[in-house]
Structure 1
């Protein structure tokens, strides 16, 4: 047992796990050997071995602490993630690497954090369709912009949109405040909408009347997201986020993250975080990446604390 413990510790202290993980091997036999070695190491990370590694993460010199945290992110079982990375200081060690000025340390931290996210088995917002809305009253497709029984009209870009207060009242707190509160719109017949394009407003209203809508492009989805946030339509926000998440790229990641922060779009923010960690090797070539990473570190911390705690 002591010999096994010594071997595992030695491999981790010298960064052996990362070297095996990062190695570019050509011969298939070598690849198989490395895979088996990592699998065997993974099987040993429990009991006394894990306890001693946790001890090293608390009391060793910082370089050794980081090597152990990196190795555990790659090798530990999902059942031990909370103990290692939330209750222990593993997460802070990895975030310290991500926030380092050294490019290799940043990349190591990003790879380890992405591996940790994958192991947590939480579906990405990109792969998870938005849930069905909970609104009770839907008038149906036939009443969208229909003058029949309409008791309020909106003026959008100079055009008239016929609507029905009962449907709007059921859709969100924003419309309830507009029509059932002390605002001037309560008794108004015509209400001007100055800051939303006709196409965007029509899509928003179609969602309110039917509970679903087809958003044709990512660009339009961003505009609808803004409108949905303004009118407190959480279901429509989630739908827009789902559409936008499909189109996150290396080139637009910063603007997408800005969008998620501006409109408190949690699913989009989570997608951006996971994208940054997964594609850090490409993003690190862009000069503005360092500033973006520094901005996201607090949210990355919150994400892992939330995800790893929910797993138990």
Structure 2
């Protein structure tokens, strides 16, 4: 049995001398090259961009203003099948925004990695992400984390979240905490003191 991992798409493409990059993305004064046909295969957004009679299609040059060069470079490596270097949660979120914007469905498997990194520092950031993208799987992980770390409700970052998100987190975390087996310590959440009609 062969145990070596298969080559990434980037390895396969760059290993073929007849296949050259044919589009340049200009991001923060950096020029990052890619392959239009490959991007069109994995993204309907890129496909529309390069197949219409647009300036991007004619010049093979695209100026990017809504992502940093670092995010764009990391995202390109990722969608070409290269392993990501160590990146922060915030950087992962930016890469996910790229994947979402360009509708690269297969690359959305990046999202589950967020749940492994939830801590007191990034809880609010990940919760906002899960709420923004309606990711129920990650939201459940955030709720479970809050149920065990109710002190987060006293932080400034938590109280600056959208009020609808706060109530959703509190309601669900309170349900988890109140249903714990007897003998398991339960620290009441703020929502436990809010009259039901106000929720």
Work out whether the TM-score is over 0.5: yes
In the alignment, the residues of structure 1 paired with residue 86 and residue 46 of structure 2 have an alpha-carbon distance, to the nearest angstrom, of: 22
Partner of 2:43: 172
**Where in structure 2 are the equivalents of 1:214-233 lying within 5 Å?**
214-233=85-104
Separation in 1, partners of 2:84, 2:119: 25
Matched, 1:258 2:128: yes
TM-score of the superposed pair, with normalisation by structure 2? 0.64
Gaps of 5+ in 2: 1-7, 177-199
Residues 285 and 157 from structure 1, CA distance in 2 versus in 1: closer, same or farther, beyond 3 angstroms? closer
Higher relative contact order (CA 8 A, sep 6+): 1
Kindly indicate whether residue 156 of structure 2 is the aligned counterpart of residue 283 of structure 1. Answer: no
Residue of structure 2 aligned with 1:295, choices 146, 157, 168: 168
The answer to whether the 8 A contact 1:154-1:160 is kept is yes
- For the aligned residue pairs, the C-alpha RMSD in angstroms reads 3.5
Q: CA deviation at 1:266?
A: 4.2
Note the C-alpha offset of 1:295: 3.1
* Aligned equivalent of 1:245, options 104, 115, 119: 115
Larger Rg: 1
Name stretches of at least 5 consecutive residues in structure 1 with no aligned partner. 1-136, 305-312
Give the whole-Å Cα distance in 2 for the aligned partners of 1:278 and 1:271: 11
The equivalent residue for 1:126 is none
3-state DSSP of counterpart to 1:167: helix
CA distances 1:121-156 after superposition (whole Å, capped 9, x unpaired): xxxxxxxxxxxxxxxx93437639x99622211111
The change in CA–CA distance for 1:265 and 1:187 in structure 2 (over 3 A counts) is farther
